[in-house]
Structure 1
């Protein structure tokens, strides 16, 4: 069963829209947002805290288990199409479908 991660760079609403789309694809075994499990490396006491460079779009990491290679290809195509419509970036990690 193909398993891979998708990094979504955009707002929380955009990430949620992509996650909802992926869960609706027939043959998807599991979709889970895992970025909340990673420790936050920002230092609130840093001299650069709050600067405009720190105010960019959010990043969400999603783990996807597809039932087979054809479903994994559908996931990639659907995620890329919606990302274009939403004007966000999706990157596929550890995937032979890149």
Structure 2
């Protein structure tokens, strides 16, 4: 069973739209937003706190279990198309 991991750089609404798309695809039963284990340097006491670069879109990590490779490819194509329409960045993690 293929496990897809992707990172969405966008708003909470963008991530929710992608999540809704994923659960609507036939065969997909498990979609989960996982906690980001990478610490972010967003300490309130930081010298860069409040700068415009610090107020960008958030990142959301999603894991999707697909029943087979064909469905995994459909997921990838559907997410890429929606990300283009929403104007958000989506990165697929590869186990290569």
Aligned to 1:23: 23
CA deviation string 1:33-65 (max 9, x = no partner): 013x53653211101111001011111000011
Query: Runs (4+) of structure 1 moved beyond 6 Å?
Result: none
Q: Tell me which residue corresponds to 2:86.
A: 86
* Deviation (angstroms), 1:4: 1.8
TM-score, normalisation: structure 1: 0.89
In 2, the alpha carbon distance for the partners of 1:47 and 1:82 equals 37
Q: Which segments of 5 or more consecutive residues in structure 1 lack a partner in the other structure?
A: none
What 5-or-longer segments of structure 2 have no aligned partner? none
Partner of residue 66, structure 1: 66
**Distance between the aligned counterparts of 2:16 and 2:73, measured in 1?**
20
Over the residues paired in the alignment, what is the CA RMSD in angstroms? 1.6
Aligned length, in residue pairs: 95
Q: Could you state the TM-score of these two structures normalised by the residue count of structure 2? A: 0.91
